Amino acid sequence: MKEIVARESGVQVFAPGARRPVAFIYPNTYHLGMSNLGLHILYQLINSRGDSACERFFLPDSKLLAEHKRTKTPLLSLETQRPLADFEVICVMMSFEMDYTNLLTMLAQSNVKPEAAARGAKEPLVIIGGPCATFNPEPLAGVADAFVIGEGEETVNKLLDAVYEARDKGLSKEDTLLELAQLSGIYVPRFYEPQYDAGGMFCGMQVSTQVPASVKRQWVRELDNYPQTSAIMTDATEFENMYIVEVARGCGRHCRFCMAGYCFRKPRARDLELLLAKIRNRPPQTKKVGLMGAAVSDYPYIKELTQTLVDEQVPFTVASLRADTLDVELTQALAASGQRTMTVAPEAGSVKMRNIINKGITEEHVFNAIELAAAAGMKNIKLYYMLGLPGEADSDIEEMIAMIGRVREKMDAALNKGDLIISVNGFIPKPFTPFQWSPLCDVKTLKRRFKMLETAFKKAKHIQVQTESLKETVLQAVLARGDRRIGAALLEAFRREMPLKQVLKEQGLDIEELAAAAYEIGRPLPWQHLDMGFTEAYLISEWRKAQREEFTPMCFDLCRRCGVCGEAQV
């Protein structure tokens, strides 16, 4: 632990007793967690209060975790080696469903009871935020005392003020939670009781009269009022000594599968001169600048930003770009900065499927990206696809295979002998998207379609096909749209050290059938008491447009389609 901190710069450590300690958990490894810009932003905000000290916790690797268990040693903070159970408030950044069990492991190993109802007034409050908390907190409702719904910058200070005041007054846990429930963007599941019909289906939420009937997502109107860069530099992360800079937030492209495009709407850009000032004053050990955002190439000043970085000889990288926004200048700037792989996301291989998901990318856009990359000296092309999207047929996979073949031919024609990397994941329906009612494609069909893809390129030169575990796809799908019964089963599986699939089977439930459930439009959904700012009518409209393969243009000024920017006019 001391070795990790010794490799960091920018870490803030305060003397015990000088400030109130706030635990910040990222429920995965340090290597991954310290690559998350949201952690860096909130770390800076909490420490800037003057009365709080943010101290980080990460999941130990398997070998170290086994040693913790063997010696019954609790997890300790990186900053002061303080046990997690000693903190009055524990903040959790939850970005991925597959980290749910990691959180339970970290709490239990630290002598913090995983079940919220079992923790007393003097024990830590567990507050969960991040994307998973925003779009569907219900599977973790038995774990969290409260959830932050939306972007944490708008809420974290009000939350800590309320917690400190309640603790200083000696309020009971019940009264403390009641105070928190009055804050905009704070969801306290204690006061919201799910209802089920005779068949065991969720049929509504009984809400206490003491709290708001719905919880409104909080979002930042003025991004420049908050931090936008890495706080701590280290060579021990996914992005070694990279200075990560958020250029924009939110995406207005209306891709119908993308939760981030809906829960982080509307698109917002940061000030160009402010970003350049931050970059020019970055820590000296920085190797590269990483430009981050949901749609970086949609940043209105992307050309000015990247050209300035090239002119000032600042190495930079961009994770993924839309093929329809690439041009010679941007591609040349990326290549000049040392980027050797052009990454784009067609998401689907057929025109029909790209219309259904509203991707707005054509095969010609992809071919243009290949030619630009080759001319700029980028060796490799990486394409992201999904299988199992609503309306997909085997013929669409055949078209995907044909498209990939044409991409390889274009690379060869452009004298680009690098690798064509195909990353393929199963589509997972997410709450608060037009596809929230859609089932996960059944596993047998997914297996067959993955096999079609893998077989097609098994002997192909310079084509690599990367896929993810279908078991994980099914588990993610169940957790993404799960209710509190799924959360209770998850806790039971953790207590008994059993797979969730087995616990559900004991309860007469099949995990694959749960994942493949189609939700009826109009029927209550477990997350409907949360308000993302847009209307259900808008989502229904988009779902029906998907079925008709109709296109929805991207966000524009004075748009009133979804309701985020004003009264919806669907």
Instruction: Walk along the chain (570 residues) and give the pLDDT tens digit of each residue.
Output: 778 888 999 999 999 899 999 999 999 999 999 999 999 999 999 999 999 999 999 999 999 999 999 999 999 999 999 999 999 999 999 999 999 999 999 999 999 999 999 999 999 999 999 999 999 999 999 999 999 999 999 999 999 999 999 999 999 999 999 999 999 999 999 999 999 999 889 999 999 999 999 999 999 999 999 999 999 999 988 888 999 999 999 999 999 999 989 989 889 999 999 999 999 999 999 989 999 998 898 999 999 999 999 999 999 998 778 899 889 988 999 898 888 999 999 999 999 999 999 999 999 999 999 999 999 999 999 999 999 999 999 999 999 999 999 999 999 999 999 999 999 999 999 999 999 999 999 999 999 999 999 999 999 999 999 999 999 999 999 999 999 999 999 999 999 999 999 999 999 999 999 999 999 999 999 999 999 999 899 999 999 999 999 999 999 888 888 888 876 665
The per-residue pLDDT for 294 is 86
Give the HSE-up count for residue 293: Cα atoms under 13 Å, Cβ half-sphere: 26
Provide the token pair at 157: 């200070």
Write down the pLDDT at residue 2: 73
Contact call for residues 457 and 404 (beta carbons, < 8 A): yes
Nearest CA-CA partner of 285 in 234, 223, 248, 351: 234
| Residue 167 near residue 122 (C-beta atoms within 8 A) | no
CA angle 210, 214, 217 (to 5 degrees): 125
Q: What is the pLDDT of residue 338?
A: 87
Q: Report the C-alpha gap between 309 and 283 in whole angstroms.
A: 16
Q: Tell me the sheet residues that pair with 421.
A: 382, 464
Within 8 A by CB and 6+ apart from 544, the residues are none
pLDDT for 567 equals 67
Give residue 139's region: left, alpha or beta (phi > 0; psi -120 to 50). Answer: alpha
How many CB atoms are closer than 10 A to CB 545? 18
Q: How far apart are CA 152 and CA 218, in angstroms?
A: 8
Residue appearing with tokens 């997690």: 84
Closest CA to 399 of 358, 354, 360, 465: 354
Which are the contacts of 357, defined by CB distance < 8 A and separation ≥ 6? 255, 256, 257, 347, 348, 389, 546
Check: CB of residue 291 under 8 Å from CB of residue 305: yes
Query: Among candidates 506, 485, 405, which has minimal Cα distance to 453?
Result: 405
Looking at residue 397, its pLDDT comes to 98
CA distances from 184 to 132, 188, 223, 333, 452 (A): 18, 11, 19, 43, 49
Residue 52 in contact with residue 160, Cβ under 8 Å? yes
Q: Please state whether 67 falls in left (phi above 0), alpha (psi between -120 and 50) or beta.
A: alpha
Tokens of 562: 């979804």
Q: Which of 368, 364, 369 is nearest to 344 (CA)?
A: 369
Do the Cβ atoms of 131 and 260 come closer than 8 Å? Answer: yes
Q: What is the largest CA-CA distance in the chain?
A: 73
